Amino acid sequence: MECFTPFRLLYLLLVLSIAMSASMAEDLGTYIIHMDKSTMPMTFSSHHDWYLSMLSSMSSSDGVHPTHLYTYNHVLDGFSAVLSREHLDQLEKMPGFLAIHADTFGRFHTTRSPTFLGLDKNAAGSWPEGKFGEDVIIGIIDTGIWPESESFKDKGMGPVPDRWRGACESGVEFNSSYCNRKLIGARSFSKGLKQQGLIISTSDDYDSPRDFFGHGTHTASTAAGSPVRDANYFGYAKGTAIGIAPKARLAAYKVLFTNDSDISAASDTLAGMDQAIADGVDLMSLSLGFEETTFEQNPIAVGAFAAMEKGIFVSCSAGNSGPEGYTMLNGAPWITTIGAGTIDRDYAADVTFGGGILTIRGRSVYPENVLVSNVSLYFGHGNRSKELCEDFALDPKDVAGKIVFCYFNQSGGVSQVREVDRAGAKGAIISSDSEFFNFPSFFFIPLVVVTPKDGDLVKDYIIKSENPVVDVKFLITVLGSKPAPQVAFFSSRGPNNRAPMILKPDVLAPGVNILAAWAPKVALTRVGDNRLLTDYTLLSGTSMSSPHAVGVAALLKSAHPDWSSAAIRSALMTTAYLLDNTIGSIIDMDTGVAATPLDFGAGHINPNMAMDPGLIYDIEVQDYINFLCGLNYTSKQIKIISRRSKFTCDQANLDLNYPSFIVLLNNNTNTTSYTFKRVLTNVVDSPSVYRASVKQPSGMKVNVQPSMVFFAGKYSKAEFNMTVEINLGYARPQSEYIGNFGYLTWWEVNGTHVVKSPIVSAFAL
């Protein structure tokens, strides 16, 4: 028998206590609880008090009490809390309980772009007509804000609108005095993350609205930054940085924290959206996404529905999981979902060989004006490993002080640049047409990327020369580059998994190498071992495209304050353009061939045309509920999303009055027919007549009835039906998930308005 001394007994009790504590901690979780507030007893003065009373009444055998996090007043009826399994069992039996969802996590998905979008303060168009977004309030749900940035100065701005109910919170390295007439609000939401064990320290992030990483600062300044002269990225993209709606007000809601995981908790995101609605924002932009689930489990979809009901336009990034199909995020039909495209600005270096024998312009974003003159070239000719600059292929004795020429290795990219750097070479020239070299972070050594065609010329020069040498001139910004726009290779593609009968993304907006404000303590690039800090940086992602779209929407909202969110989205979609600056079809950067509506939606946003669309496809709140009924959502699911206790599904309908059309195909059948029913609304002051025309590919037959519609005046309506027949026996599919596509266009008779919508056939998963 083992003998227990007092010390050993104390030790075992301590171990047991630690084990029990660990077990209890593992049993706890953060949850979002949906309640039916119509069942609240009359004895409570508020829902908040009701929720707290419920939590305080819960018992637990381990003595752990529930912890309340947030009460939601707008985005949903309910609250979030830290609960044990015993608490969950008790909660599910309480009157008014609807549903519970475990907290989940989302991740975040710059300025030549105003000019590229056709915005000009000295000409007619969206800027003067939209009053530059004056007094419209944009809520940016992101990583916070760097308030000292020149992009958030309030010079020339009038008083904050009286309807604003927000606040500027103080916190770690953030004071309420940082807000002004431009940045009118700043708040932070981190309770959910903290309950997951995230420790927010100044070495990882700020427990305040201050932006540690820079992402939120970048998106906010893109949407509504004040003009800043001579902004640039280490000499590239010099010019005046200005937001799309430069006179709009900004409110920052920090829900993303960068720690080790760069994540946002669903409970925090909902709290941020809830507060933005309460504060009185007119529009929201979210450059983040959560895993695709049914809509009632997706915090952004739930929050955006509540915002839509109150007339708040919500723009979201489509995600960066392209180029494959069915990779869309934020696909709820009440959200305007934005894909990413390029703009007509590129960054270059001029490379001269042999003192003038050959000169080539290649891509470069190397952030220093270094002298590369009469430097020897190295090429591992005859050794494939060295030609590709593969890992440890280069001998430092061979390449020291030289420029290395490499052919791109499909599995290489940044690893090739690192190999050149490791071997101690002066720099590199890489022959590649890979889209990966669009990112500035690759250019941490003197690097120039040339096309494969030019690369062959370089190789030929090196082989034929006894002493190959090169000169390089960096810091060249190219304006008017062609073709542009192109669909970014990373931009997520449609259809959307959860509602494939709605074409997504909705539109394309600038999202590649966008210059905008940044947190100056954060280095995204380096030269050698030196990390470089900057006030303005180039970033790529659909994160950059969403604030462009919300900025344009702010201009429309300012010019048309009575328009619904659906009306604004319709104007953006039906006026979007389909041709690039070579007057050719918009190209998919990944394939090099024409893109499809499942890549770019209705096309690339065109702010000046969107200001006066002629006709719109409007959608009421009840239409969305009918759509959810059509998806066979249960009454509980619909109640969670809509917060309605009473509704019927008598008019279930998957055919929303959307400005685009998609026919889902079954791989087992060759022929499919579907009839769409739509209602058009006239938004000009005079009567008008429109005639329908259809561009249809082989294998697609489209019939529109009536083919001519009449409008008596502003806000008058006209209905039409469109039947689409698809015969795959006559049409070769475009890809494994898209069949064919065409366009329906309504032309104004004796007028100038053109209202265009894509018609797409796609294979269902």
CA angle 244, 247, 250 (to 5 degrees): 85
What's the pLDDT score for residue 708?
98
Cβ–Cβ under 8 Å, residues 349 and 473: yes
Cβ–Cβ under 8 Å, residues 402 and 446: no
Give catalytic status of residue 543 as yes or no: yes
What's the pLDDT score for residue 596?
95
What's the pLDDT score for residue 259?
65
What's the pLDDT score for residue 727?
84
Q: Do residues 232 and 336 share a domain?
A: yes
Q: Do residues 238 and 335 share a domain?
A: yes
Give which of 321, 322, 319, 323 is closest to 331, Cα–Cα: 319
Structural domain includes residue 604:
no
Distance of alpha carbon 335 from alpha carbon 608, whole angstroms: 22
Structural domain includes residue 635:
no
What's the pLDDT score for residue 499?
95
- Specify the CATH number for the domain of residue 701: 2.60.40.2310
- Please state the domain count of the chain: 4
> Tokens 């902004």 belong to which residue?
231
Q: Which residues contact 422 (CB under 8 A, 6 or more apart)?
A: 392, 394
Q: Do residues 288 and 424 share a domain?
A: no
Q: Do residues 332 and 350 share a domain?
A: no
Cβ atoms within 10 Å, residue 392: 9
How deeply is 100 buried, as exposed, middle or buried, from its count of CB atoms within 10 A (0-12, 13-18, 19+)?
A: middle
Inter-CA distances, 7 with 2, 17, 21, Å: 14, 15, 21
Q: Do residues 379 and 410 share a domain?
A: yes
Q: Do residues 308 and 440 share a domain?
A: no
Q: Where are the beta strands (DSSP E) in 647-753?
A: 661-665, 671-682, 688-695, 700-705, 708-711, 717-727, 738-748
Reduce the secondary structure of 372-440 to three states and give it as a string: EEEEEEECCCCCHHHHCCCCCCCCHHHHCCCEEEEECCCCCCHHHHHHHHHCCCCEEEEECCCHHHHCH
Inter-CA distances, 492 with 118, 319, 325, 497, 666, Å: 25, 5, 7, 12, 23
Distance of alpha carbon 138 from alpha carbon 547, whole angstroms: 10
> Tokens 């060759």 belong to which residue?
670
DSSP 8-state class, residue 267: H
Active-site choice (103, 142, 207, 618):
142
Active-site choice (190, 432, 543, 688):
543
Inter-axis angle of helices 542-559 and 215-224, to 10 degrees? 30
Active-site choice (87, 215, 218, 753):
215
- Pull the structure tokens for residue 583: 């007057």
Q: Do residues 403 and 326 share a domain?
A: no
Distance of alpha carbon 642 from alpha carbon 635, whole angstroms: 10
- Specify the CATH number for the domain of residue 386: 3.50.30.30
- Pull the structure tokens for residue 668: 């087992």
Q: Which of 44, 71, 102 is the last residue of a domain?
A: 102
Distance of alpha carbon 480 from alpha carbon 344, whole angstroms: 5
Q: Do residues 503 and 535 share a domain?
A: yes
Cβ atoms within 10 Å, residue 415: 12
Strand pairing of 671-682 and 717-727?
Answer: antiparallel
431 CA to centre of own chain: 31
Strand pairing of 78-83 and 137-142?
Answer: unpaired
Structural domain includes residue 499:
yes
Beta bridge partner(s), residue 420: none
Distance of alpha carbon 424 from alpha carbon 403, whole angstroms: 10
H/E stretch holding 549 reads helix 542-559
What's the pLDDT score for residue 444?
93
Distance of alpha carbon 372 from alpha carbon 426, whole angstroms: 9
Structural domain includes residue 547:
yes
Cβ–Cβ under 8 Å, residues 736 and 325: yes
This prediction has a pTM of 0.92
Reduce the secondary structure of 284-326 to three states and give it as a string: EEECEEECCCCHHHCHHHHHHHHHHHCCCEEEEECCCCCCCCC
Taking phi over 0 as left and psi of -120 to 50 as alpha, with beta for the rest, 603 belongs to left
Distance of alpha carbon 313 from alpha carbon 135, whole angstroms: 15
Cβ atoms within 10 Å, residue 38: 10
Q: Do residues 73 and 204 share a domain?
A: no
Structural domain includes residue 436:
yes
Q: Do residues 332 and 359 share a domain?
A: no
Give which of 341, 344, 594, 602 is closest to 491, Cα–Cα: 341
> Tokens 């007619």 belong to which residue?
124
Strand pairing of 486-487 and 587-588?
Answer: parallel
Give which of 548, 535, 560, 597 is closest to 760, Cα–Cα: 597
Residue range of the domain that includes 274 = 106-343+485-587
Cα pseudo-dihedral 342, 343, 349, 351, rounded to 10: 70
Q: Do residues 430 and 370 share a domain?
A: yes
Structural domain includes residue 391:
yes
- Specify the CATH number for the domain of residue 142: 3.40.50.200
Give catalytic status of residue 101 as yes or no: no
| Dihedrals phi, psi of 413, to nearest 5 degrees | 80, -115
Q: Which of 444, 478, 512 is the last residue of a domain?
A: 478
Cα pseudo-dihedral 263, 265, 270, 271, rounded to 10: -100
Distance of alpha carbon 205 from alpha carbon 225, whole angstroms: 23
- Specify the CATH number for the domain of residue 67: 3.30.70.80
Q: Do residues 110 and 91 share a domain?
A: no
Distance of alpha carbon 279 from alpha carbon 161, whole angstroms: 12
Give catalytic status of residue 162 as yes or no: no
What's the pLDDT score for residue 410?
76
- Pull the structure tokens for residue 677: 């029913």
Start-to-end Cα distance in the chain: 65
Structural domain includes residue 450:
yes
Cβ–Cβ under 8 Å, residues 365 and 339: no
Distance of alpha carbon 564 from alpha carbon 618, whole angstroms: 8
Structural domain includes residue 642:
no
Q: Which of 75, 102, 129 is the last residue of a domain?
A: 102
- What residues of the chain score a pLDDT lower than 70? 1-26, 108-111, 122-123, 259-262, 668-670, 730-736
What's the pLDDT score for residue 731?
59
